């Protein structure tokens, strides 16, 4: 089918909530995607960090096919083994977290974390302790509550009234954060790398200071790992790079390698907060999604696999730092979560030219090309993609 026909058909029946590129994708293999005209593209987007195992992964597709022939969903009125196994694997590799709740998306995972934090505070200190501090330039989702949790003003439009009880302070400013804490503060919620606003890692000293402040004040420390989790930064979770143990950790994206799933981990303080009836979700932990999570965990949680992610991420950043152009203002990130800061007025043209030459990349903030390749991308593909990006930017 021709691209113009595909676009026309979508315009007839699909709400126009996305500004899409003029590209229709048909199938993929590993870190490669092919459009409807058969053109090959190196995928440095992985569905915005979702396709952790790339496309058409043989073990994942086999396991999903086997589960399809068993049962897809049963509701959470009954026990299912795939969900239990997935929870066991996530908890066992978390470095000290205790319990898992499965949801369907990152925003839903963050909503659940907010509920746990507010119930913990209400149970222990009363209903007036409900405020959650997040960081300026953060992004936590698109539901009403997670939009308000997001520390970017342009998201706070059109959908009033928002859920109240959120306060924002600048990243890496511990004095401002301490000043914002008061008797109403229930939790501090952060992304350790602010992905949507420009792939900006938090400073290690700042993160450690948050942990110490939360422990001192009995404030819950929530880490949003929706984008950074499941091997993306070279550890299973990014918080393991910072040598901390949060009270709640949220995740989604890469956990299902393309199958919708999300969830959150709770620690010693928070594992007993929610009781039967306090929270739930119809599709959460369904056998199909849990099978995908099991497969991902079997592969990604392997220390050798994670070491390889670190090696490939280091190689990619080294190659990008070789670009000889005043258009590269910074290269930053961890593992295979990489940002290339460029002049804001040039970013749209650079992204389009990369796509024209067969490399799919993302935008973050106003001035950052974001790279989130499948974790299974090969070194040869990294070198090829980096060479194309280098040519585009230097040109």
**DSSP string for residues in 139-154:** ---SSHHHHHHSB-GG
Q: Average the pLDDT over 4-8 and give the result.
A: 96
pLDDT digit string, tens, across residues 242-287: 999 999 999 999 999 999 999 999 999 999 999 999 999 999 999 9
Q: Average the pLDDT over 158-183 and give the result.
A: 96
Q: Average the pLDDT over 343-370 and give the result.
A: 98
Does 310 score more than 90 pLDDT?
Answer: yes
Residue 383 half-sphere exposure, CB side, CA atoms within 13 Å? 3
Contact residues for 70 (Cβ-Cβ < 8 A; gap 6+)? 287
Q: Tokens for 101?
A: 């709740």
Question: Shortest CA distance to 364 belongs to which of 157, 51, 139, 32?
Answer: 139
- With H, G, I as helix, E, B as strand and everything else as coil, classify residue 295: helix
pLDDT digit string, tens, across residues 95-154: 999 999 999 999 999 999 999 999 999 999 999 999 999 999 999 999 999 999 999 998
Q: Could you please report the per-residue DSSP string of 206-238?
A: HHHHHHHHHHHHT-EEEEE-TTTTTTTTSSSSG
CA dist 134 and 11 (Å) reads 37
* Residue 238: exposure state from Cβ atoms within 10 A (0-12, 13-18, ≥19): buried
Contact residues for 162 (Cβ-Cβ < 8 A; gap 6+)? 144, 145, 147, 148, 156
% of residues, the chain, pLDDT over 90: 99
Residue 1 has a pLDDT of 82
Q: Average pLDDT of the chain?
A: 97
pLDDT digit string, tens, across residues 96-107: 999 999 999 999
CA dist 232 and 307 (Å) reads 11
pTM strictly above 0.95: yes
Question: Shortest CA distance to 118 belongs to which of 126, 101, 130, 109?
Answer: 130
Beta bridge partners of 194: 200
CA dist 120 and 124 (Å) reads 6
Cis peptide before 94 (omega within 30 of 0): no
CA dist 8 and 14 (Å) reads 10
Residue 368 half-sphere exposure, CB side, CA atoms within 13 Å? 19
Residue 178 has a pLDDT of 98
Q: How confident is the model at residue 345 (pLDDT cuts 50, 70, 90)?
A: very high
pLDDT digit string, tens, across residues 12-24: 999 999 999 999 9
Does 353 score more than 90 pLDDT?
Answer: yes
Does 91 score more than 90 pLDDT?
Answer: yes
Residue 335 has a pLDDT of 98
Q: Average the pLDDT over 206-216 and give the result.
A: 98
CA dist 73 and 226 (Å) reads 23
Question: Shortest CA distance to 139 belongs to which of 106, 116, 102, 175?
Answer: 106
Q: How confident is the model at residue 351 (pLDDT cuts 50, 70, 90)?
A: very high
% of residues, the chain, pLDDT over 70: 100
- Adjacency order of strands within the sheet including 362-364: 330-334, 337-341, 368-371, 362-364
Q: State the alpha helices, DSSP H only, in the chain.
A: 3-13, 46-49, 58-68, 81-92, 106-125, 144-149, 174-180, 204-217, 287-300, 303-321, 347-356, 379-394
Q: Average the pLDDT over 61-75 and give the result.
A: 97
């Amino acid at each position: 089918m021709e691209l113009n026909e595909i676009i026309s058909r979508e315009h007839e029946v699909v709400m126009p909530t996305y500004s899409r590129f003029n590209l229709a994708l048909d199938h993929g293999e590993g870190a490669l995607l092919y459009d409807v005209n058969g053109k090959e593209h190196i995928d440095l987007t992985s569905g915005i960090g979702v396709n952790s195992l790339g496309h058409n992964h043989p073990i994942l597709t086999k396991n999903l096919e086997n589960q399809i022939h068993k049962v897809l969903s049963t509701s959470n009125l009954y026990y299912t083994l795939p969900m239990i196994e997935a929870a066991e694997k996530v908890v066992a590799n978390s470095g000290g977290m205790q319990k898992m709740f499965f949801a369907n998306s990152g925003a839903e995972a963050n909503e659940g974390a907010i509920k746990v934090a507010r119930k913990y505070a209400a149970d222990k200190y009363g209903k007036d302790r409900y405020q959650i501090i997040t960081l300026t330039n953060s992004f936590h989702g698109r539901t009403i509550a997670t939009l308000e949790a997001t520390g970017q003003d342009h998201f706070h439009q059109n959908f009033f009234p928002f859920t109240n009880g959120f306060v924002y302070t600048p990243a890496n400013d511990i004095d401002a954060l301490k000043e914002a804490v008061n008797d109403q503060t229930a939790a501090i919620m952060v992304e350790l790398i602010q992905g949507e606003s420009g792939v900006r890692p938090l400073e290690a000293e700042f993160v450690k200071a948050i942990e110490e402040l939360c422990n001192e004040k009995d404030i819950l420390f929530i880490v949003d790992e929706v984008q950074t989790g499941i091997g993306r930064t070279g550890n299973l979770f990014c918080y393991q790079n910072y040598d901390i143990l949060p009270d709640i950790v949220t995740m989604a994206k890469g956990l299902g390698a393309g199958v919708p799933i999300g969830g959150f981990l709770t620690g010693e303080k928070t594992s007993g907060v929610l009781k039967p009836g306090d929270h739930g979700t119809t599709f959460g932990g369904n056998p199909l999604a849990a099978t995908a999570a099991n497969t991902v965990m079997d592969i990604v949680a392997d220390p050798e696999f994670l070491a390889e992610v670190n090696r490939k991420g280091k190689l990619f950043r080294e190659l990008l730092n070789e670009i000889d152009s005043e258009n590269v203002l910074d290269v930053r990130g961890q593992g295979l979560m990489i940002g290339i800061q460029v002049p804001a007025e040039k970013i749209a043209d650079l992204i389009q030219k990369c796509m024209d030459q067969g490399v799919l990349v993302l935008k973050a903030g106003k001035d950052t090309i974001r790279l989130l390749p499948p974790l299974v991308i090969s070194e040869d593909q990294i070198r090829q993609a980096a060479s194309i990006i280098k040519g585009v930017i230097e040109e």
